[in-house]
Amino acid sequence: MYEPSKSEIILTELIGRSLAQPYYRSFVDSLALSNHEHVLDFCSGSGIISDLILKKLSGGRLTCADVSHKWLKVLNQRLKGSNWRSVYLDSLDVESIQDAPFDKAVIHFVLHDFNRAQREKVLKLVKRSLKPGGLLIIREPSAEGHGLALFELINLLEKLKLGAYTYKQQRYPLIGETIDLRIRIKEDGL
Ligand SMILES: C[S@@+](CC[C@H](N)C(=O)[O-])C[C@H]1O[C@@H](n2cnc3c(N)ncnc32)[C@H](O)[C@@H]1O
């Protein structure tokens, strides 16, 4: 479905392991993970966030799904231990993601890379993969020219009626403007 170039992988790795580490750590801290939770990292990319999540889940499990074979290869080389698995998605039209249902799902810097129709499919798929009452955490860039406008995301959430949500906009050094949404998944189906 999508594959990154070699230079994208190298640059992501270089920045992710150095300058962006404080940002990634604070993002994962903000997930308030409990040790026993079952978590989905949707489009986990290089796995820099997945690795930090996994370190907080000694009694839980992590599933990393991606639409890219190359990114999954990078992730598989990065993550250690046995309480995680990676899943290749060749389509967004599947009923749910392998290993569902999850307590929490993370979508970090992903939706803006998909077109509108795909974004809806992603959110419906992740919603179906979460437990009723589960938490969906979305963080996206929101700079003009690279990212999503707040109203676009809110419109999507309202249209899909995923559940009650809170949001905040924040600017981070190096990362830029972001939107952070936390959605408590409704008890009934979509
Ligand atoms: C910017 S990376 C984010 C990875 C990870 N969530 C993180 O924040 O480190 C984007 C992710 O979306 C997926 N993706 C899907 N369609 C894409 C597209 N058209 N362009 C870039 N990435 C795309 C990639 O496979 C990758 O996992």
54 or 145, greater pLDDT: 54
β-strand pairing of 38-42 with 102-108: parallel
CB 124 within 8 A of CB 190: yes
Name the residue of 25, 28, 43 to mutate for ligand 1: max ligand atoms within 8 A of Cβ.
43
What is this structure's pTM?
0.97
The answer, yes or no, to whether residue 190 has pLDDT greater than 90, is no
CA of 147 to the centre of ligand 1 (A): 12
Other C-beta atoms closer than 10 Å to the C-beta of 39 total 26
Within 13 Å of residue 146, how many CA atoms lie on the same side as its CB?
A: 6
For ligand 1, atom 9, name the residue with the nearest CA.
45
For ligand 1, atom 23, name the residue with the nearest CA.
113
CA-to-CA dists, residue 100 to 103, 132, 163, angstroms: 9, 12, 19
pLDDT digits (tens, 9 = 90+) for 64-87: 999 999 999 999 999 999 999 999
**Confidence category of residue 173, pLDDT binned at 50, 70, 90:** very high
Domains annotated on the chain, with CATH? 6-185 (3.40.50.150)
CA of 107 to the centre of ligand 1 (A): 10
Mean pLDDT computed over every residue of the chain:
96
| pLDDT value, residue 75 | 98
Name the residue of 12, 68, 116 to mutate for ligand 1: max ligand atoms within 8 A of Cβ.
68
Which residues surround ligand 1 with Cβ inside 6 Å?
A: 2, 43-46, 48-49, 66-68, 71, 108-110, 113-114
CA of 45 to the centre of ligand 1 (A): 6
| pLDDT value, residue 144 | 86
The answer, yes or no, to whether residue 188 has pLDDT greater than 80, is no
Average pLDDT of span 154-175: 96
Distance CA 53, CA 41 (A): 9
C-alpha 185, offset from chain centre: 15
pLDDT digits (tens, 9 = 90+) for 85-140: 999 999 999 999 999 999 999 999 999 999 999 999 999 999 999 999 999 999 99
For ligand 1, atom 12, name the residue with the nearest CA.
110
CA of 152 to the centre of ligand 1 (A): 19
| pLDDT value, residue 121 | 98
CA of 11 to the centre of ligand 1 (A): 14
